[in-house]
Each structure stands twice: as structure tokens, then as C-alpha cells.
Amino acid sequence: MQIRYTHLTFLLSSLLACMHAGAVQPVAAVTAAEKPGAAMCIVPAKPGGGMDLTCKLAQQAQQAQQTGVSQPMQINYLPGGVGAIAWTTIISQRKAEANTLVAYSGGSLLNLAEGKFGKSDASHVRWVAAIGTDYGMIAVRKDSPYKNLRELMEAIKSKPANIAIGAGGTVGSQDWLKMAQIGKQLGIDSKSMRLVAFEGGGESFTALLADHVQAVSGDASEAALHARDDKIRVLAVLSDARLPGPLANVPTAREQGFDVTWPIIRGVYMGPQVSDKDYQRWVTYFQQAMNTPAFDEQRKIHGLFPFAMTGKELTEYIQKAVSNYRLQAKEFGMVR
């Protein structure tokens, strides 16, 4: 697969290496320690994508809950390395902050499985909550000549260099793996596809609307936001059945002859040295919040679907999920 990296790739790689060495402080705005009592949700990507939606949902849920935090939750953006910068920051420099949460997704777990977060594994943070699930999707611009997923994939098979595919992350990312799995069923060599790597779904859709890429492999929640403006055409959702809401008329990949589904868990984690008391306070907060009709409504507004899990149960679930992702990645040579 041909890759064009964003212009910050080299800089981010260097920054990550320096952070491992303890030489560079991350460019986070204000830490919870600097502003006592303030809760913070870190988005490990640029604004506009699924990670952003996760923190906004956590922020809105806080309004109806008593968390022991005196100020409204702040949202802080810390992009880089498709989540690696935020992960490294939390486990090395902000490991005990009692009111700092970080958004994660299934893509984060896949990165862990592939070793993209260095030597880290799932046990290196405290998993607080899964607050919803999302699904993969494939989209093009509204004026694209491709009316369905098969037409797009046939065009990629015929002339792969002519179709740039916007994705959050590089080769091995979940957006790449979605396309690789679909392409495999049509006999497409994943290495021949032209991937353009971005820092999250927000950038991918911006590039699509500007016609810098001809398709996007991303998430349904992200696509739902743009579908309301009637500027994109979602060709397929990677779910077992059609999704309710703005994408209700979009067929699944299975309906179009591609047996591929891609559920995407979304939630938040904390640093490894957060006290049991503070960790449990946030676990309880999300347990209570996710039992309210108001939270369910906000989840729908953000394009997510019910999936609620916290604490120990979630930790065990994630450990199994990382193992499953590793098996999928091995199929395409991403893990030895």
C-alpha cells in the first residue's frame, strides 16, 4: 500500500522518542494538577473525530452527575502518533492525576496489539469505562461517480493509484485494516491501495470535502455528522444490520457481498497510579450516568450505540479484545 504521511509525521515520531527519554514535556494546555478540582478529558487526536465525540459525551454526562469535582470537565487536544503521544504522556508524566481521563477507541486497542504504543500493553493504564460503540464505514463525496461499495472497490482493483483513501493512521491502523479486509474478498492486494494517513477522522473528512482524497475509511459517528450536510455519500456501514439514525438508509457491507463487520468500542482510561479511591469514583460515575435516559439520548445525538461496561469487567474485556486484534493484524503481516 502506498502511503502519504501528513507533514507532522516526522516531528511527531521525534517527539515521541524524546518523551520516552523524558526529555520533552507534552504540549498539553493545563493539567489537572495545575487547576485543582478541574476534570479533564484528553482527546488523543485533532478536533472533529470519534475521539472528540467521546470526550464531549463524557463532558455532557458530567452535568447530571456528582463526581466530587468542583468545575466542569475541560476538553484538551493532544494529537500525535494516532494516540501514542497521549498514551505515553499519561503513563510516564501524568500517571497519577485523579481527574484526568483519556478517550480511547477500538483503534487504540489495535495499536496496542500491533506494538505501536512502544512496549506498552493493556495493563499499563486503568480502564474506566466503555460508554458506547461505533461502527466502521466507507464514504465518498456526494458528487462521486461511485454509488455503492462494490463500484468503489472494483475501481480500486482496476486502478488503485487513482483513488486516494483517507484514513486515521497509517498501514496497520483500523481504518487501513477495514479496507484490507474488504479488498481481500475481491482479490485486491492491500499493498497496492493508496492510503493517505491523517490524525483522526476529522482530518480525513476535511480532505474528502476538499477533494484531496476520493474516499474515506472511517467511523459511522463521524460520517453521521457530515451526512446531515448532504455533502458526502456513505457507501456502506460495517455493522451486522443497518444502523438507525442519519445513516438508516445506508446498506451494510454484507448486503453488498462483503462479509466484513467492524464494531468500535469507545470510552475512557486513566493513569496507572491513580488511587483506587479516585479510580472507583469515576467508575461509579459512569455506571450511574449510563443508567440515565439523558445519557442514552446524548449517546444517540453523538451517533453512538449502547455499550456500557466499567472497571474490572471492562479491563478483562479489553485484554481479550487486544488479543483478538493481534490475530487479525497477523493475517496481514502487521504483527510477527
What does the pLDDT look like over 30-49, one tens digit per residue?
343 334 468 999 999 989 88
Any idea what the CATH number is for the domain that residue 13 is in? 3.40.190.150
The residue type found at 231 is K
Distance of CA 95 to the CA centre of its chain: 22
Which tops the pLDDT comparison, 201 or 319?
Answer: 319
178 and 252 together in one domain? yes
The pLDDT of 123-146, averaged and rounded, is: 97
Alpha-carbon span 100 to 222, nearest angstrom: 24
Task: Out of 262, 282, 316, pick the residue that ends a domain.
Answer: 262
The pLDDT > 90 percentage for the chain reads 68
Closest CA to 131 of 256, 234, 10, 265: 265
Label the pairing between strands 232-238 and 126-141.
antiparallel
190 and 234 together in one domain? yes
Alpha-carbon span 282 to 117, nearest angstrom: 25
Label residue 71 by pLDDT band (50, 70, 90).
Answer: confident
- Residue 111: its H or E element: helix 106-113
- pLDDT score for 153: 98
The pLDDT of 5-30, averaged and rounded, is: 36
- Alpha carbon distances (Å) from 105 to 130, 234, 267, 272: 9, 21, 6, 18
Name the residue with cell 455519500.
233
169 and 250 together in one domain? yes
Any idea what the CATH number is for the domain that residue 206 is in? 3.40.190.10
Phi first, then psi: give them for residue 11, nearest 5 degrees: -60, -45
What does the DSSP 8-state code read for residue 250?
P
Task: Out of 221, 236, 262, pick the residue that ends a domain.
Answer: 262
Closest CA to 250 of 145, 119, 105, 137: 137
The pLDDT of 177-189, averaged and rounded, is: 95
122 and 203 together in one domain? no
Does any domain span residue 336?
no
The pLDDT of 275-284, averaged and rounded, is: 96
| 256-293 residues labelled b (16+ CB within 10 A) or e (exposed) | eebebbbebbbbbbbbeebeeebbebbbebbeebbeee
What mean pLDDT is reported for the chain?
Answer: 86
125 and 97 together in one domain? yes
- pLDDT score for 87: 96
The residue segments making up the domain with residue 148 are: 135-262
Task: Out of 236, 262, 288, pick the residue that ends a domain.
Answer: 262
pTM, two decimal places = 0.79
